[in-house]
A and B are shown apart, each in its own frame.
Chain A
């Protein structure tokens, strides 16, 4: 994953709440077995509706509970492939938020009025190190889990990080009487 530090540029606005991942990338595009090439299908059905305008910018500003519904990581893949490096919203669905951080798309939670100001400004800069968003006439800080921030700023491979704890996993498996069955050998 490439490191995430400063994201700066134009802001595209999608002023809707509860945008589900079925809208971000409809099901007919989930049949690919690759991670790439989803950008052209982003908001496939909505993009055909009159008045739709979503320029390719580094930043998307949108409404609350963005990314709800299906766990499909294809949604952040499509946003990234389209050009978005960060999404700013008043709140995100849990799985979507996590999926974004795994691929280096930065989800930023701001208050609703701050998101509105970013939308109105049309341009913004997000400094992950300082945990701050600035735009013409305003700035706001945002929260992010510190371990998640470290992985993003250093562009770390999650699995590599976890495998540094391999001994702890080995010990856990060996020492603890584990709950649950095995899946092998069931006819």
Chain B
């Protein structure tokens, strides 16, 4: 029987029929308080605190506050303090505000080396799919399931179907992992992956950095996919090696076996021509409403499109490059790693943010922030007029003070352009870090391939 990497990991973690073992459970402040509370009421404990890791990210102000007491929003503060108290009571390791390890949960896992090939990883957060970039099976769960994992270190799960997304051809100059995944979502639709674990394969995927692979797997959920995976290779091993929680030496022989066998069958296979992909910009209110930057706002194809155009205040036929911007946000679990910031800084160097634009860069973790500062990237961004912030989810979801005002138009490297996602009435356009950086300088979208 020829197996996919997903089959292999699934089978290695089946405790009993319908029960899947969880190697790593990541926890944050928003989706965990009710789980801990129920655990407490039932007199249950956390089965494996040593396979659990918590951080505060969603509610965290990014203005450099060093302690939870400094969160001015009372409800946000209570949520972070509740997480800290729960972790103390249940012996769960936590890297909260003030820790040099604090950051977006999907940035710090890989960064610490606790995200490794072959693992099962869950978190009460849909973007847990990010960790699949390492050849792990990683997916988001709800709060009831968070409680279930805390208590049992397992999940009740039926095996999802499988899907292979195979890319042929190479990405062109200036075209990034973000463009690849946005174009893919545009092709298969925001429910194209529902019920499926998606494996990404092909030369264009193999050439991606780990940051790029994380961006791709991160947005799997925006295509409805249960999880996204990429078979581990030398790029993966080099990234993991030497990190704090990484094994020494790496079990590379075992990890190399984590690839889909030749001829492994998938429930669904889709081909994508990577060489056809151009820098992408979303125009609507789902990540699937996307066009190339040289394109125009499309004619509405249905009621959903009409609603989206009305919310976005866009006229069909308007060239994407002519859309003026108010804000630029570089950050989020999709695009806030050091590689993302380097790409953006390279374009920004020696230039100025357009006077009409308010631009900010939010590193994904305190470690990314420290690394960027060691490389002088903070100075590059500041000199150009960007606001250089501290680590957190920031303007990706507006649960903290970083929100866009009603009617403001944002070029954002985050993952969701839903109505109100970045602030009530805010209009989001999803792009790559390079595209966001160039848009900040010009005040509107530009074709990065010519601009560079």
Binding site for B on A (CB under 8 A): 16-18, 20, 22-23, 26-28, 30-35, 45, 64-65, 68-73, 76, 91-95, 98-99, 102-103, 145, 147, 158-159, 161-163, 165-166, 168-169, 172-173, 176, 178-184, 186-187
Contacts and interface: CB of A to CB of B under 8 A. Distances in A.
Interface in B113-148: 113-114, 116-119, 124-126, 139-145, 147-148
Contact of B399 (A20, A27, A161): A27
Contact of B142 (A28, A95, A180): A95
Interface residues of B, number: 81
A22 B16 contact: no
B420 interface: yes
Across chains A and B, which 6 residue pairs bring their CB atoms closest together, nearest first?
A102-B144, A99-B142, A31-B75, A33-B33, A73-B142, A180-B23
B194 A94 contact: yes
B126 A34 contact: no
Contacts of A22: 397, 416, 418-421
Contacts of B397: 22, 27, 70
A162 B190 contact: no
A99 B155 CA distance: 13
Given A27-B399, A45-B420, A184-B49, A71 B126 contact: yes
Interface string B29-55: 011011001000010100001111100
B298 to A, nearest CB: 16
Given A23-B419, A168-B15, A68 B151 contact: no
A95 B221 CA distance: 10
B19 interface: yes
9 contacts: A22-B397, A45-B424, A92-B194, A98-B141, A99-B143, A168-B19, A179-B116, A181-B114, A182-B245
B419 A147 contact: no
Contact of A180 (B73, B114, B158): B114
A87 to B, nearest CB: 15
B167 interface: no
Given A95-B126, A98-B142, A31 B19 contact: no
Interface stretch (B76-84, B265-273, B319-327): B76-84
Given A181-B114, A181-B116, 19 more contacts: A20-B418, A27-B398, A31-B59, A69-B416, A71-B31, A73-B31, A93-B224, A94-B226, A95-B126, A98-B142, A99-B143, A158-B148, A165-B15, A169-B153, A169-B154, A172-B21, A179-B12, A186-B101, A186-B114
Given A33-B34, A71-B125, A95-B126, A147 B156 contact: yes
B399 A28 contact: yes
Consensus secondary structure, chain A interface: loop
B66 interface: no
A183 B51 contact: yes
Contact of A31 (B76, B93, B117, B153): B76
B208 interface: no
A16 B126 CA distance: 22
B431 interface: no
A65 B190 contact: yes
B295 interface: no
A98 B158 CA distance: 11
Given A31-B399, A94-B226, A186 B190 contact: no
A146 to B, nearest CB: 10
Contact of A35 (B23, B34, B126): B34
Interface in B296-316: 303-304, 307
Nearest to B25: A183
A91 B191 contact: yes
Interface in B397-421: 397-399, 416, 418-421
Interface in B72-97: 73, 75-76, 78-79, 82, 93
A32 B23 contact: no
A45 to B, nearest CB: 5
A145 B147 CA distance: 22
Contact of B141 (A26, A95, A173): A95
A94 to B, nearest CB: 5
B244 interface: yes
Contact of B191 (A64, A162, A166): A64
A65 B156 contact: no
B247 A181 contact: yes
B383 interface: no
Contacts of A92: 194
Interface string B156-194: 101010000000000000000000000000000011001
Contacts of A28: 398-399
